[in-house]
Amino acid sequence: MGLKEVKDDILQEAQQQADSITSDAQSKADEIIEEAENEADRILQEAEEEIEEEKESLEKQQLSNARMEAKKKKLDAKQNALEQVFDRFRDELEELSGEERQKFVANCLERAEFEVGTVKASEEFKDVVESEGFEPEDFHKTGLVVVSEDGNRKQEYSLDRIVQSLKDEHRKEVSEVLF
């Protein structure tokens, strides 16, 4: 074998090694690219699932918030209706006739759990209190207050207090009738 043949063999062997290395590198590169694409697809799938879960969670939260707001509005409407009923009752108390005022004052004086010494009355009740034999003192609320002879005890019969008492005692019953 001559030098030329040895040279050609070495070059051919080098070319084969280069082709083999290039082929291996290309295979490795293709493998890495495929793994990267698979990883990207997996990450994209997970992201889409997370987005869908977040979307469902937000929808549930919004639905829950809407239901709570609806319940609150319904409760507020019921509360307003109850308040209107008691406000109307208060207005009707304001419009008592003279005879009804007389009965009201007589009833308040009878219900006192002590000997009545003085009576405080609003302008609307002063004449009736005088007709019961008392010199009424000024009372800043609509209604009256009966005070014991020694001044240690009193019972208030203001229209606001009466309405509040009825509201406290009968709110549930009125609510059941209304709703």
pLDDT at 1: 62
Domain 96-178 CATH class label: alpha beta
Q: Where are the domains of the chain?
A: 1-69, 96-178
Residues of the chain above pLDDT 90, percent: 36
Residues of the chain with pLDDT under 70: 1
Give per-residue pLDDT as tens, 36-77: 899 998 999 999 999 999 999 999 999 999 999 999 999 898
* Amino acid (1-letter code) at residue 10: I
pLDDT at 126: 92
pLDDT at 61: 93
Q: Is the pTM of this model over 0.85?
A: no
Distances, alpha carbon 96 to alpha carbons 74, 102, 118, 143, 159, in Å: 34, 9, 23, 11, 11
d(CA 120, CA 146): 6
pLDDT at 70: 93
